Amino acid sequence: MEIDEKYMRRALQLARQGGGHTSPNPMVGAVVVHNGIIIGEGFHRCCGKSHAEVNAISSVRDQSLLPESTIYVTLEPCSHYGKTPPCAKLLIEKGIKRVVVGTLDPFEKVSGRGVAMLREVGAEVLVGVLEQECRELNHRFFTAHTTGKPWVMLKWAQSSDGFLASKDGRVGFSTPLTRALMHRERSMVDAIVVGANTVKIDNPTLTVRHWSGSSPLRVVLDRKLTMPSSSGLLNDGGKILIYNDKKEEVRGNIEWVKLDTTEPQAWLRDMYRRGITSVMIEGGYNVLQQLINASAWNELRIEVSPILLGEGIKAPIIETSQAKYQEVDGNVILTLILDSHTIESMQA
């Protein structure tokens, strides 16, 4: 078991290299071992590209060693045809007789089926090696596929006396460094959500600019369709999703979806059905507080500036006593990630 953990730790190291590029797929790493020697390694590099098992097996120079080898993979090999063929089928074709899996896949098209396929042909399959670490690696992916809603991160910046902005809504609290870090967080999620008021006041692009990575899907909660037609989001050619109470329409890169925008569970479930597994909420007070009141969040990131405003638009009210504090470039970053037990008690 100690040996199995050793190689699984290496698979976890590899998996992390896919961070920011694999979503909505999970990060996965794989290691092929023959007689105590690693002969192949791989990880899932990008959504739509080869999975970790394929890359690890392809890296093995002497393929004749595979039937006598063990493959370690952080997540159960897939068993269905998606953008790529089933990895479980590949392991069977290569004659690999021992497979060590970190954790089962929560995705309903896989969940246990990959392991079953391997065992049906007589392969020895060990499941649960460093399971906690393997699940934590993809906690957003696991949460989405077990709840039917994306992982939700609430994010905002505020003054030290608790204001989001001045009365006219125009105050910036981030520094160049903290802005880059937040753009890194943007690159790690599938979608970013704001309200119509944020679009009217800030005319944001909601793209990744201060970090290397893909920009998320832009989503606007615009109940009465009050967003100005001149808004950059409507004219920059990028894809945008608009939840509203009035119309259902698709026009080029813009899609309007009619549903109750005051009910977070409704639009979160719709996003999950679209394959979105993680969301950053960058809306103003109303959107953020709506999610807080509905206990519809998993992660909190607040940037607190030493600036004092005295008056303005109040920041959302939320308990942060359990948050972690980190000073970055003169500002304080508060982070809080809810564990599964806390989420369940909040939603009970």
Q: pLDDT (tens digit, 0 to 9) for every residue of the chain, 348 residues total?
A: 799 999 999 999 999 999 888 888 899 999 999 999 999 999 999 888 899 999 999 999 999 999 999 999 999 998 866 666 789 999 999 999 999 999 998 887 777 899 999 999 999 999 999 999 999 999 999 999 999 999 999 999 999 999 998 887 777 899 999 999 999 999 999 999 999 999 998 899 999 998 988 899 999 999 999 999 999 999 999 999 999 999 999 999 999 999 999 999 999 999 999 999 999 999 789 999 999 999 999 999 999 999 999 999 999 999 888 899 999 999 999 999 986 544 444 443
| pLDDT number for residue 341 | 41
**Tokens 């004219």 map to which residue?**
235
Q: Which of 53, 76, 185, 303 is catalytic?
A: 53
| pLDDT number for residue 163 | 94
| pLDDT number for residue 47 | 84
| pLDDT number for residue 44 | 96
| pLDDT number for residue 346 | 42
- Using alpha carbons, select from 148, 159, 149, 210 the residue that is nearest to residue 185: 210
Whether 124 is catalytic is no
| pLDDT number for residue 123 | 95
